[in-house]
Structure 1
Amino acid sequence: MKWFKIISIIMLVAAGGAGGYAYYLYDTVKDTASQIYEPIKEKKSDLRKEEISVERHDPISILIMGVDKRGNDRGRSDSMVVLTVNPRTDSTLMFNIPRDTRTKIVGKGIQDKINHAYAFGGVPMTMKTVENFLQVPIDYYVKVDMEGFAQIIDTLGGVDVHNQFAFHYEGYSFPEGALHLNGVKALKYSRMRYDDPRGDLGRNERQRQVLRAVMDKAASPSILADLTEILRSLGSSVKTNISPDELQKMSRDYRTAVQNVNTIEIKGSGTKISGIYYYIVSEQERNRISEAMNNQLGLK
């Protein structure tokens, strides 16, 4: 989610800043980009013949992971969104992976919930597992501390959403209709699933709704006044293998594509295996998703 915010902030600096203030903001963005940069050993996906280049305006894919830490362990990636961004067609395709999806965990050799890959092997294992599940190359990742994301929303002054049905979740009430949510409420709103008749799919839809609301707020010129505080929050709660130079090029050459977002939703069914709930996705459905996302990347 915050990848969109970083890009939006940089675009605001490029388009709306002036004089010494613009230079100050740009310098702050560069510092933040350096703080959040955390490369991984393997740069090129096994599903690509050659390394992608944002300099060439290549279409790219990004795995966004919302991570909840639990005690002293690394936690689980309870929210996973895949973006395929194509600057040549000025479009982005967004796809949520239900956290309980049963698949092979690459590197463990077992079938398990896809969000457990992060607990077993962190970012690298999660990227490989998602690649194997979708048969789509994953070029970049963005890891987001979900509690830090709430702080960002508060700095933005909250977000506006339209709730499809009334529900209660962890001590908070969400009536049907237009809602203005602070950071904590936005997280609760996007996490509820057991009382949703669509389960994980309904939860994923609310996540996308909050994401779009954040993007709208980040694109508002009035947000410039709070830019420094937002950037400080980003530095402590986001990690990515998008380098500062790549981020700068993306802000210039991928901006239109990021503003034109389409979504695709996976279809499956829930079942219990040995008493544990899983979300089962057929091979035919995986192929449908894979084809759509590879087409967006310009791959066969």
Structure 2
Amino acid sequence: MKKQTIIIGAGLMVLVLLLFGAGVGAYTGYLGLSWDAGTAKSDDPALAKQLQSTKQPGKSAGPSATDILFLATSAPESAPERAASTGFPTDLIMVAHIPADRSGVQLVSIPNDTWVRVPGHGHDTIETSAAVGGLPLAVRTVSEFLDISIDHVAVVDLAGLSELTDFVGGVEVVSSTAFESGGHDFTVGPNTLDGASALAFVQERKAFPNGDLQRIRNQQEFLRAVGSQVMSADYELNPLKMSELVRALSPFLTVDSGLNASTLVTLGAQLKGITEDDFDFIIAPTEDSGVSDDDGARLIADQGGLEKLKQAIADDTVSDFAFEAEDRRR
């Protein structure tokens, strides 16, 4: 795998950090129990059926590759309420592709405004899938858009970002543009975030000419920065700190019933030894934005680039795709 940190894409950083940051370190059975006790589980039969139905011949990225759909929301429902919800708004959509050789993790971000086919609802922005059909429809829509098997799904409450930022004592990010959001001013260059300003940094989109795409880049910059802290020796070699992190953040997560402690322990053991340089961040290729029928913003998929991404997923070579992507940034 090429060691290339590409700071683009969207991030569902809470679960990514818990899953992979903990996996790199000492993810013990005790931590697993904390995870199971803290997270809300969706036992929706429709979701279980949909996850199973995406596992069709020719759609798997490989016999051992794993793909996890991450969604983030700022909706006020609690995690248990969201587990039973038939629809909720999404702020972020991302697929974590874990290759068969477990050499790293590729995070494929899909802009909310991407124009796709939403099964049973015609064409609309991809965020509509979760809004009108909850987790089952979101899984199906993303699966069809990327021609991919979805093994697990998780929803992150963005309030967890505030908790995470304060937990690690603040996070320094490098902003590529100056902007204001929610009473917080961000300058070009280094900015130190606390919990409240972290939420403003990752949620703002109206301040930018390119809207959702710049928001995605900000989210991924946050993920890079906080991920570097959590994957440091201070946490990796300190089970007590990692346990406290799991207990603090797991209540902000809703996951399918299969994304349990046993699954995390297995993935964590397989991914042991990876570093932050083994994470690749990708934005699903889009063309210039246009206007939908209801005058809302939309992004049209770049079909040529999308086909290359889909082929890379099928061939389990997403890291190579990330390395070669024209829009990569350090």
Q: State the TM-score, normalized to the length of structure 2.
A: 0.77
**Structure 2 equivalent of residue 18 of structure 1:** none
**Structure 2 equivalent of residue 236 of structure 1:** 251
Q: Give the CA deviation at 1:35.
A: 3.7
Which of the residues 182, 188, 203 maps onto 1:191? Answer: 203
Give 2:179's aligned amino acid. F
- Where 1:255 maps in the other structure, the secondary structure is coil
Alpha carbon RMSD of aligned pairs, Å?
Answer: 2.8
Q: Which runs of 5+ in 1 are unaligned?
A: 15-24
> Do 1:118 and 1:126's aligned partners in 2 also have CA atoms closer than 8 Å?
yes
> Do 1:99 and 1:113's aligned partners in 2 also have CA atoms closer than 8 Å?
yes
> Do 1:85 and 1:257's aligned partners in 2 also have CA atoms closer than 8 Å?
no
Which of the residues 6, 18, 23 maps onto 1:6? Answer: 18
Q: After superposing the two structures, state which structure 1 stretch, 57-66 or 167-176, moved more.
A: 57-66
**Structure 2 equivalent of residue 175 of structure 1:** 187
Q: Give the CA deviation at 1:29.
A: 3.3
> Do 1:93 and 1:296's aligned partners in 2 also have CA atoms closer than 8 Å?
no
Which of the residues 23, 28, 33 maps onto 1:30? Answer: 33
- Where 1:69 maps in the other structure, the secondary structure is coil
Is it true that 1:248 corresponds to 2:265 in the alignment? yes
Higher strand share: 1
How far, CA to CA, are the matches of 1:139 and 1:111 in structure 2?
25
Which of the residues 266, 287, 294 maps onto 1:268? Answer: 287
Superposed structure 1 runs of 4+ greater than 6 Å apart: none
Task: Report % sequence identity.
Answer: 20
**Structure 1 equivalent of residue 9 of structure 2:** none
> Do 2:59 and 2:314's aligned partners in 1 also have CA atoms closer than 8 Å?
no
How far, CA to CA, are the matches of 2:97 and 2:160 in structure 1?
25
Q: Give the CA deviation at 1:57.
A: 8.2
Which of the residues 63, 68, 75 maps onto 2:88? Answer: 75
Structure of greater relative contact order (alpha carbons < 8 Å, 6+ residues apart): 2
* Distance of aligned partners of 1:220 and 1:257 in 2 relative to their CA distance in 1, 3 Å threshold: closer
> Do 1:63 and 1:140's aligned partners in 2 also have CA atoms closer than 8 Å?
yes
Deviations 1:204-257 (A, max 9, x none): 111111112222111233344544442222231112231221111001012345
> Do 1:150 and 1:184's aligned partners in 2 also have CA atoms closer than 8 Å?
yes
Deviations 1:142-192 (A, max 9, x none): 210001222122111121211112111121100111111112212211222
Give 2:309's aligned amino acid. I
Is it true that 1:160 corresponds to 2:172 in the alignment? yes
Aligned residue runs from structure 1 range 132-171, under 5 A: 132-171=144-183
Q: Give the CA deviation at 1:87.
A: 4.5
Q: After superposing the two structures, state which structure 1 stretch, 218-227 or 138-147, moved more.
A: 218-227
**Structure 2 equivalent of residue 22 of structure 1:** none
Give 1:88's aligned amino acid. D
Q: Give the CA deviation at 1:12.
A: 2.7
> Do 2:24 and 2:273's aligned partners in 1 also have CA atoms closer than 8 Å?
no
Q: Which runs of 5+ in 2 are unaligned?
A: 1-12, 319-330
How far, CA to CA, are the matches of 1:217 and 1:257 in structure 2?
15
- Where 1:209 maps in the other structure, the secondary structure is helix
How far, CA to CA, are the matches of 2:227 and 2:211 in structure 1?
25
Aligned residue runs from structure 1 range 113-124, under 5 A: 113-124=125-136
- Where 1:240 maps in the other structure, the secondary structure is strand
Q: Give the CA deviation at 1:137.
A: 1.7
Give 1:30's aligned amino acid. L
